[in-house]
Every structure is written in C-alpha cells, then in structure tokens.
Amino acid sequence: MENVLDKYKTVAIADVKIWFKAGTIKDFPSNRGGCIKYKDKQIAVFNFERRNEWYACQNACPHKMEMVLSRGMTGSADNVPKIACPMHKKTFSLVDGSNLNGEDYSIATYPVKIVEDEVMIGFVD
C-alpha cells in the first residue's frame, strides 16, 4: 500500500515540464474540490474562489491511503488555506502540503495555472 504514495511528489513551479489541461473553470465547483485523472494519478483540485486562488494536491489521504481528499472541506488555519480529509479530519496545508495536526505524514502539492478559461496542472512527467 505504501507505493500508492510513491506516485505523488510535490512539484515546484520551476520544475514543471507538462501543463495538463484538466478542464475549464466551470467544470470545478467553487470553494471545494474536484478530482482529476492524469495518467495513473488522481489529483484533487480546489477552486478557492473566495481567495481567488487555485490549489492541487494528491487525492490520496496519506493517513489511510483512500482517494478522498477532493471530497474534503476547505478552510484556513492562521490564514493558510487548508483541506480537511473527510475520513478522519486530518488537515493539510494546500500551500506546501504540510500536516497541520502535527503528525508525520504530509501530502504532495502541484502548481495550478489558469490560462483564459483552462485549468492547467503542472507535472514533471
């Protein structure tokens, strides 16, 4: 089961090789998540409309490896945008993927850019 997580490594915007068109803005609900499929990866994409920001991270919650983060609730902690897993309410920063409950596991995050109406997610491969 550990290898589910091996697929997901944080991508820095400078390292992006492929900008994948995930859909148009209206395909994604506002202020919550949608999940997209890219090759064998599941990526949760959040339109944080209230802050006019977009975020993307692995859809797998590293706690129990279920593909559910896109169905979690968005929010903020000390003004850092975060996502709470719907399973056991583990929360992660959407900015750097760090665990906000003080546990060891964290999540991989991916850059998002909006070009006209297209939502593009950055990958290295």
Which residues would be at the binding site for another protein (CB under 8 A)? 1-2, 4, 6, 9-10, 22-23, 27-32, 34-37, 42, 45, 48, 50-51, 60, 64-68, 71-79, 81-82, 84, 86-87, 89, 91, 96-98, 102-106
Q: Give 1 or 116: the residue with its C-beta nearer to another protein.
A: 1
- Using CA of residue 104, residue 107, residue 108, residue 111, what is the dihedral sign? negative
Whole-number Å distance between alpha carbons of 55 and 112: 6
Q: How far is the CB of 18 from another protein (least distance, A)?
A: 15
- Look up residue 52 and give its two tokens: 């006019």
Q: How far is CA 4 from CA 39, 62, 78, 89, 92, in A?
A: 14, 9, 31, 20, 18
Q: Give 68 or 111: the residue with its C-beta nearer to another protein.
A: 68
Q: How far is the CB of 81 from another protein (least distance, A)?
A: 7
